[in-house]
Amino acid sequence: DVQLTQSPSSLAASIGDTVTITCRASQNIKNYLSWYQQRPGRAPKLLIYSASALHSGVPSRFSGSGSETDFTLTISSLQPEDFASYFCVQSYDTPPYSFGQGTKVEIK
Amino acid sequence: EVQLVESGGGEVQPGESLRLSCVGSGFTFNSYWMHWVRQVPGKGLVWVSRIFRDEKGASYADSVKGRFTVSRDNAKNALYLQMNNLRVEDTAIYYCVREDYSNSGFWFDPWGQGIAVTVSP
């Protein structure tokens, strides 16, 4: 099974900062990785698919990069509504579908 | 609008059964694989089960294999999760999720609002 290691587990940042979250796969998953945002008490929402494709309606300050085993989600110019949890998912070697442990972005 | 709405959650005792339902709208339901994903509040997400488009071909996480059964009724745009012999550790929010796809990959979108399942003595 593919293991995803997401880091950091939490971070504190200020409005306007740029934050970077990483997701490392235990084996080559090509670009079959997606990123999601989850606000407290809400369902997850898709941000990025196929490692770097921006989902429709998602602000352009969100971007994804990487391939094979190393992936990054970058949020540029952090906005108040971006304080949430983020997680990655791999869909290359399934089942099972693997999730990262999540990253909570908090206000500094 | 593409939408998934779950129902059927609740509180049961260990060993009891529960059936979750999910109805999709705004898309051609029988064109997509569908999933159940669960989350213990405050914890990470865990994939539970997947079913292919044609109501056949299901897969399960090891933790639920033999106890949970996923099914779908494409005529009703509905997805189900029959959960038998429930355990305390099955307590979670359960999400119904569509697997979207292109020639460059697969991803989960959208997610239902989630339905709470509590298993308590």
What's the pLDDT tens digit per position in B12-59?
999 999 999 999 999 999 999 999 999 998 899 999 999 999 888 999
In 3D space, the residue among B99, B101, B120 whose CA is nearest the CA of residue B110 turns out to be: B99
Q: Which residues of A touch B (CB under 8 A)?
A: 31-32, 34, 36, 43-46, 49-51, 53, 55, 87, 89, 91, 94-102
Interface test with A, best of B1, B102, B109 (most A CBs within 10 A): B109
Cα three-residue angle B102-B106-B111, rounded to 5 degrees: 115
Q: What are phi and psi of B30, to 5 degrees?
A: -75, 5
In 3D space, the residue among A64, A106, A59 whose CA is nearest the CA of residue A85 turns out to be: A106
The bridge status of strand B115-119 relative to strand B10-12 is parallel
What is the predicted pLDDT for the residue at A8?
Answer: 98
Hey, how many other C-beta atoms are within 10 angstroms of the C-beta on B30?
Answer: 15
Cα three-residue angle A20-A23-A28, rounded to 5 degrees: 140
In sequence order, what are the residues at sequence separation of 6 or more whose Cβ sits closer than 8 angstroms to the Cβ of residue B65? Answer: none
Question: How large is the average pLDDT for residues A71-100?
Answer: 95
> Is B114's CB within 8 Å of A43's CB?
yes
Q: What is the DSSP letter of A55?
A: P
- Distance of alpha carbon A88 from alpha carbon A35, whole angstroms: 5
What is the predicted pLDDT for the residue at B61?
Answer: 97
Count of CB contacts below 8 A, A vs B? 67
- For chain B, percent of residues with pLDDT exceeding 70: 100
